[in-house]
Structure 1
Amino acid sequence: MAKASRNKGATGEREVAALLRDRLGLDLKRRLAQYQAGGHDLDGWDGVCVEVKRHKKATQGDIATWWQQTLEQAQGEIPLLAYRADQQQWRFVIRPGDWGGPTLEPAEVCIEGLVAWVRNGQQMTLEVTA
Structure 2
Amino acid sequence: MSAMSRRKGAAAERELSKLLSEELGIEIVRNTDPQRVTGGDILTIPGYSLEVKRCESLRRPSWWEQSQRQAARVRLEGVVFYRQSRKPWRALVSAEGGYADVTFEEALDRLRDKLARLYGLYRDAA
Alignment TM-score > 0.5, same fold:
yes
Distance 1:73 1:56 in 2: 23
Task: Give CA deviations for 1:10-49 in whole Å, capped at 9, x if unaligned.
Answer: 001011111111111131111111x335541011112200
Distance 1:104 1:14 in 2: 31
Q: Which runs of 5+ in 2 are unaligned?
A: 115-126
Deviation beyond 3 Å, 4+ runs, structure 1: 36-39
The answer for the alignment partner of 1:41 in structure 2 is 41
The answer for the alignment partner of 1:109 in structure 2 is 102
Alignment of 1:1-130 (within 5 A): 1-33=1-33, 35-37=34-36, 39-58=39-58, 62-75=59-72, 76-96=75-95, 103=96, 105-120=98-113
Distance 1:17 1:77 in 2: 18
Q: Which runs of 5+ in 1 are unaligned?
A: 97-102, 122-130
CA change 1:37–1:15 in 2 (3 A) is closer
Provide TM-score, normalisation by structure 2: 0.79
The answer for the alignment partner of 1:99 in structure 2 is none
Residue identity over aligned pairs, in percent, reads 32
The RMSD of aligned alpha carbons is 1.7
Q: Is the Cα contact below 8 Å between 1:50 and 1:79 reproduced in 2? A: yes
Distance 1:43 1:113 in 2: 20
* SS in structure 2 of the partner of residue 11 of structure 1: helix
Q: Give the number of aligned pairs.
A: 111
CA change 1:37–1:107 in 2 (3 A) is closer
* Displacement of 1:119: 3.0
Provide TM-score, normalisation by structure 1: 0.77
* Displacement of 1:120: 4.1
